[in-house]
Amino acid sequence: MLDRMLGLLRIRVVRGVNLAVRDVRSSDPYVVLRLGKQKLKTRVIKKTVNPEWDEELTFSVEDPSFPVKLEVYDKDTFSSDDPMGDAEFDIRPFFESAKMDLKGVPDGTVLRKQASNRENCLAEESSIYLLNGKVVQDIVLRLRNVECGEIELRLQWVDIPGANSFQAN
């Protein structure tokens, strides 16, 4: 398993902004993230459309060509949970930045910018940069298939000693 793993993708689900109302006046949102066959979810935040999760979820990355898929749900007690939108994003630009030779690169340097466009769910331009020696990307995703809502994430790459070294071309 370790010979196929390239490293870890740590995703901090920071918060939701202006999420859809699915209960009487509010929602009880949580986020489900998927990468390939892996699935992780945040805790439920009760009665809010502006939840602050600030929760870290970690995926092992074997193939950076798989997008991260995100779904937001409203937790319901007596019926199935209501969908509150979804999004997905490509981790290849982030992965390629994380695999660059960054020796001597000063902290705070922007390694790459990702523009928002019709093909991605980015609500605004997103920068991949160096923070405390780690490659980080702050992302604001506009949710699809819903009337409103955005999710803020922070990605961080974690190298694993002994993991398969992969050179981005």
Q: What is the pLDDT of residues 31-73, one digit of tens each?
A: 999 999 999 999 999 999 999 999 999 999 999 999 999 999 9
pLDDT value at residue 161? 79
pLDDT value at residue 109? 96
- Count of helices and strands (H, E) across the chain: 1, 10
Mean pLDDT of the chain: 93
The answer, as to whether pTM is greater than 0.95, is no
Distance (Å, whole) CA 30 – CA 12: 13
Q: Give the domain ranges of the chain.
A: 7-158
Residues contacting residue 36 through CB under 8 Å, at least 6 positions apart: 62, 63, 66
Is it true that domain 7-158 has CATH number 2.60.40.150?
Answer: yes
Distance (Å, whole) CA 60 – CA 136: 16
Distance (Å, whole) CA 94 – CA 99: 9
Q: Of 147, 105, 113, which Cα lies nearest the Cα of 130?
A: 105
